[in-house]
């Protein structure tokens, strides 16, 4: 399987409940390595830009309000099949429907406060990683290979 990069966000509920380390630990256990990472309090403009694809959806306003309610951790994860692997680790968007053992089943409280975001395709991963990180902010493991 190909090495991919995907965007992960630990949302304000994950940060405020103190599970940043546990979440990153789960990624690392499954071979997803952070290659860029930053804690950031999103402005309304940044949140609306990131979620622009959802701007006509009824939940857009609440989603952006939640995502700007406190700091988030944005990171790029690298690994084999990283996009799908991250989605599998997160579980369903609605934590009530998330499979046991997934991040959302274990930590999320509601569909808005659902603890993590992950890119849903390789194409979107390229757009989303570039939204938050310049290429010079992305680490490379090439030197180890």
Q: What are the catalytic residues?
A: 117
For 47, 56, 81, 106, 140, the CA distances from 60, given in Å and listed in that order, are 10, 7, 29, 25, 35
Q: How far is the CB of 79 from ligand CMP (least distance, A)?
A: 19
Rg (CA), the chain: 14
Measured CA to CA, the distance from residue 114 to residue 123 in angstroms comes to 23
Q: Give the H/E segment covering residue 3.
A: strand 3-10
For 106, residues 6+ apart whose C-beta sits below 8 A from its C-beta are: none
Q: List alpha helices for 19-141, DSSP H.
A: 20-29, 44-50, 60-67, 82-90, 103-107, 122-132
Which of residues 5 and 104 has its CB atom nearest to ligand CMP in the complex?
104
Per CB under 6 A, the segment of 12-20, 70-78, 106-114, 130-138 that binds ligand CMP is 106-114
Q: How far is the CB of 100 from ligand CMP (least distance, A)?
A: 19
**Out of 86, 114, 115, 129, the residue judged to bind ligand CMP by CB under 6 A:** 114
Binding to ligand CMP in span 60-89, by CB under 6 A: 63
- 105 sits near ligand CMP (criterion: CB under 6 A): no
**Out of 93, 122, 126, 138, the residue judged to bind ligand CMP by CB under 6 A:** 93
Three-state DSSP class for residue 31: coil
**Out of 5, 85, 104, 117, the residue judged to bind ligand CMP by CB under 6 A:** 117
- 111 sits near ligand CMP (criterion: CB under 6 A): yes
**Out of 59, 101, 123, 137, the residue judged to bind ligand CMP by CB under 6 A:** 59
Contact set with ligand CMP (CB under 6 A): 54, 59, 63, 93, 111-112, 114, 117
């Amino acid at each position: 399987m190909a090495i991919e990069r995907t965007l992960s966000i630990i949302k304000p509920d994950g940060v405020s409940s103190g599970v940043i380390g546990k979440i990153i630990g789960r990624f690392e256990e499954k071979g997803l390595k952070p290659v860029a990472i930053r804690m950031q309090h999103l402005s309304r403009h940044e949140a609306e830009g990131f979620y622009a694809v959802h701007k006509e959806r009824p939940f857009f306003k609440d989603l952006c309000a939640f995502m700007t309610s406190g700091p988030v951790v944005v990171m790029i994860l690298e690994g084999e099949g990283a996009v799908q692997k991250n989605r599998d680790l997160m579980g369903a968007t609605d934590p009530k429907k998330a499979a046991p053992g997934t991040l959302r089943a274990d930590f999320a409280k509601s569909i808005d406060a659902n603890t993590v975001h992950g890119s849903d395709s390789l194409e979107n991963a390229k757009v989303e990683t570039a939204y938050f990180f310049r290429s010079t902010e992305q680490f490379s493991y090439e030197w180890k290979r």
